[in-house]
Structure 1
Amino acid sequence: MTVVVVLADPPRPGLVLPDLPDTSPLSAGAATDLYRALLKDTVRAVERSGASLLVNYRPDDLLPDGFVTDTASEAALRSLAASALEDVTDARFEEQVGSDVSARAGNTISHLLGEEGAQSVAVVRGTAPLLTRSLLDSSAMKLRTNETVLGPSTRGRTYFAGYTEPADFAAAFGDAELETLTDRARDAGHDVEYLPMQVAVETGADLRDLLPVLWSRISAERIVPEHTASFVHEHGLRVRDGELVIDNP
């Protein structure tokens, strides 16, 4: 069974999706609500798959100044997960350890593979709403014959990074992430396989890529991420003439 590690922050304005208010019509509060929806859909997809869910969160002492509230980071994320999952008691919640995303992801992957004996571990960001049960199950199959499986996103990023053996993760998550993770895997002697490309939401440009796909799936009555689709519908978010607009402000 693959352990799917969802990297998560408590949903607080300015902390999550910080670039979205300046690159879209959404306010900081609306961007935070979108993050909640994206994260709910992510943890629900993991629960529905054959994977084991681990929510890996930044504790309060790793949050930037100004984002610590009376509600602890873990409590905020447990509450969010409980509203999305059928049984939140099946999910694990563990603190991130490390100075940056690369260190936190690498520490978690290495610990689970080396110390807990997990057969495979995948790190996902909770902002790729089209991640599905079938895609996660497909990744598990690919990890049976490849030491590394990566899910490409736009602008050279990834939304999924799965391993059966560790690699060098120092400064691997960031610029040219997909290439760096591939090169590090090959340096470690790994066979590398890929999942279909998906959009991970960080900026307005990402929403411009995502929304036509999402609205098309809604129109075709195909499976959509429930919480993200509801947010988009309620806010009337659309792409018109290449620009993000709100049809029913």
Structure 2
Amino acid sequence: MTVVCVLADPPRPGLVFPDLVANAPLSPAAAAELYTAALRDVCGAAEASGGDLLVNYRPDDAIPDAHVPDGADAEREVREALEPTLDEPDEARFEVQVGETFAGRAGNTVTHLLDQEGVASAAVTEPAAVFCARQEVDEAAMKLRRAPVVLGPGTRGRVYFAGFTEPIDFTDAYTPPALRTLTDRAGDAGHDVDYLGTLPLLETPADLAEILLGVGTRRTAGRPVPTHVADWLDDSALTVVADGAGGLALAGE
């Protein structure tokens, strides 16, 4: 059974999805609502899978002071965001992230689970992986029976899921392009690598445009969509337009 670790921030306006706030037609409050929706979809997929969900949240003392208002409580805020979604919220496992970088936090969690808790396999994902559904999590668990490292490639060389039965050197392991860096680190440790299908991540305005288009086309084709993110998109006034350079852009809010 794979322990699926979702690395999460408390969904505070101004803290989460900063690129969308700076470069897309989204207010900080809207970005926080979208982050909450994404957090619910990814954690819901992990809970529904054959694995065990571990929500690894960033504590207030590891968050810039500008994003720690009076009365802030990171664990409580993450728990409250997930309470309407999880089947058994009181039974869910929440733990503090340890580390100064994403790679450090991911590495500390995976290494602790494998070496100290003796789990068979551990994986890392994040709310940005909105299309990472139960199918991908279960497929990764199957692949981890044959390969010590399984990666879910994102667009532009990113990674939306990384699973391990053996640790690697995680120092700067998510250096872009993370897909190459993680693959190289696995090879350095003598591990075979397998891959999931490529999925988009939600970090930039171009990503959000791609996800908005993907939700619409999946619905038309009768395919599953990330429910909470899809509902948020329905309530927004965002539309996808061609950017004039062969790509996609957002319009409205």
TM-score bin (small chain): over 0.9
The Cα shift of 1:66 comes to: 1.4
The Cα shift of 1:62 comes to: 0.5
Provide the secondary structure at the position in 1 that maps to 2:239. strand
Q: Is the CA contact 1:23–1:205 (under 8 Å) kept in the aligned structure 2?
A: no
Q: Is the CA contact 1:14–1:28 (under 8 Å) kept in the aligned structure 2?
A: yes
Match of 2:102 in 1: 101
TM superposition score normalised by structure 1: 0.96
Alignment of 1:77-226 (within 5 A): 77-226=78-227
The Cα shift of 1:24 comes to: 1.5
Match of 2:235 in 1: 234
Query: Partners of 1:32 and 1:173 in 2: how far apart?
Result: 24
Q: 2:30 aligned with 1:24, yes or no?
A: no
Unaligned stretches of 5+ residues in structure 1: none
Higher mean displacement: 60-69 or 105-114: 60-69
Match of 1:3 in 2: 3
The Cα shift of 1:174 comes to: 3.2
The percentage of counterpart residues that share the same residue type is 50
The Cα shift of 1:85 comes to: 0.8
After superposition, give the CA deviation of every residue in 1:18-73 in whole Å (9 maximum; x if it has no partner): 11022211111111111110010000001110110000011111111111131310
Aligned length: 247
Counterpart of 2:249 (choices 220, 243, 248) is: 243
After superposition, give the CA deviation of every residue in 1:104-129 in whole Å (9 maximum; x if it has no partner): 11011000000000100000011111
The Cα shift of 1:202 comes to: 0.7
Where in structure 1 do 4 or more consecutive aligned residues deviate above 4 Å?
Answer: none
Q: Is the CA contact 2:60–2:72 (under 8 Å) kept in the aligned structure 1?
A: no
Higher mean displacement: 115-124 or 75-84: 75-84
Higher mean displacement: 101-110 or 207-216: 207-216
Unaligned stretches of 5+ residues in structure 2: 243-247
Query: Partners of 1:223 and 1:156 in 2: how far apart?
Result: 25
Query: Partners of 2:158 and 2:91 in 1: how far apart?
Result: 30
Provide the secondary structure at the position in 2 that maps to 1:54. strand
Provide the secondary structure at the position in 2 that maps to 1:167. coil
